[in-house]
Structure 1
């Protein structure tokens, strides 16, 4: 039973505000994260987040799954960010982390992360970009953030919807673009391009790319790889659950074919980064 969720909404909001207020004033005793889960959106990051939480050496932010500091709230400052994390104890084996499905796609987040956390480790989850785009569209439609009833039409509108938004975000770091956050179905799947700033800024050895399909097919092996990357003690959760999945049926064949062709060079570039063809490209040739 989650007593926090049973509390009235107003009381929970007040409690979070009080927690942030106190955390900010004790920021000097609180760590910055040792590692980040940077996305991608609709790639299984919530499932990974829950699996990481199960590890006894891993601590999450106290008030939210993710703080969204490097993408949406950077103007609030480092003390505000630190205030979301628990006070670090004396055990040097403990790792603190933050997660946001928007960090990988936000145009300013990678450079902020590289500048402020030069020793951080980054985990990125990727998924068949065609299926990811379709899942994201259904997700935004269900939330009321998308009003086009045709996925093909939403893809046609993407460039117009996003035109000039990155320039506005760079000109005003406090500007939050609704269209960039909710209507970038095609662009969020161009993984190699999005991962490049992390690899270039932090080094290839500090960036771990996890293919969603592999994580759900062989979760124990992938989890062990993640644990080794984070230099944690060997551990396996009792079970691996899948969260926030949406049924994959109903994708228009024409839209799928168009996206598959678009992603061909992006998938090839990702394959170079991975050292092998992405899982979904291997499956297509089996």
Structure 2
């Protein structure tokens, strides 16, 4: 059997329903997506975008898809590919016949959701969203970044230029929320698989907030010596026990309390910033999306 390559990519944007779509697509009998690494980010090497665990060698990356067998569609869902300046060309060089899925939502809501997700995972040290936005404009503090993930028009255009519009499907988070079954069917038709299949459309990726941010940061940014101990411990501690311990840490350090609403002044500032981008995107998609940047 030859090398198994993915032939479709869910490239982002983050916090736009990609985790739900990944779960729904993965449940389809004709589709294979790796369970162990939803977001390998092999084609997005930019550290300013992504500083989590990234697969950076081809052999390990291809090993994710060895279980694909007779799947019609083989894919992955690395949500930073959309913002990456290099990913589109790299994916095309890897598989020029690939199909591309892009999911979008209000860029203002995306940034706010992304901030709280990073707080939850311990990857954001700033105590407020406003502080994170200030740091986002500081060249010395541009990790992690925010505004780049809402620059949809240029990013969609990049994938159109590389793959052609017919190989790219745009999915709006608003549509996914209002009629998930119809959006899913359209996506299956785009991927040329059985569009009559209906998965369990249960909610995925429920929001949680950090009760103790320092614990989340320590877990995410453990020193190298601790990670070596973790690696060695895997030889002696069962995966079930490790999962129990991680679950206990999450239970202590996370809360189910809803996130607070965005400061109205901050929302208005971001709406002004992103309005020109949404006007351009509206023209590209022939659909008015400027309401994302208006009250």
TM-score, scaled to structure 1: 0.76
For the pair 1:259 / 2:220, whether they are aligned, the reply is no
Provide the rounded CA distance (Å) in 2 between the counterparts of 1:225 and 1:251.
33
* 1:157 counterpart (135, 142, 163): 135
* 1:107 counterpart (58, 71, 85): 85
Per-residue deviation, 1:283:
9.9
Provide the rounded CA distance (Å) in 1 between the counterparts of 2:140 and 2:43.
20
37-46 or 229-238, larger mean C-alpha shift: 229-238
2:152 is matched with 191
2:60 is matched with 80
Q: Which secondary structure state, in structure 2, belongs to the residue aligned with residue 281 of structure 1?
A: helix
Provide the rounded CA distance (Å) in 2 between the counterparts of 1:283 and 1:269.
13
* 2:107 counterpart (103, 116, 129): 129
Per-residue deviation, 1:284:
5.3
Q: Say how many residue pairs are matched.
A: 237
249 and 213 in structure 1: CA distance in 2 versus 1, 3 angstrom threshold: farther
The runs of 5 or more residues in structure 1 that have no matched partner are: 1-27, 166-178
User: Contact 2:271–2:294 at 8 Å: present in 1 too?
Assistant: no
Report the RMSD for the aligned CA atoms in angstroms: 2.3
* Pairing 1:171-210 to 2, within 5 Å after superposition: 179=143, 183-210=144-171
266 and 248 in structure 1: CA distance in 2 versus 1, 3 angstrom threshold: farther
TM-score, scaled to structure 2: 0.73
135 and 231 in structure 1: CA distance in 2 versus 1, 3 angstrom threshold: same
For the pair 1:96 / 2:107, whether they are aligned, the reply is no
The ranges of structure 1 where at least 4 consecutive aligned residues each deviate by more than 4 angstroms after the TM superposition are 72-75, 282-285
282 and 152 in structure 1: CA distance in 2 versus 1, 3 angstrom threshold: closer
243-252 or 220-229, larger mean C-alpha shift: 243-252
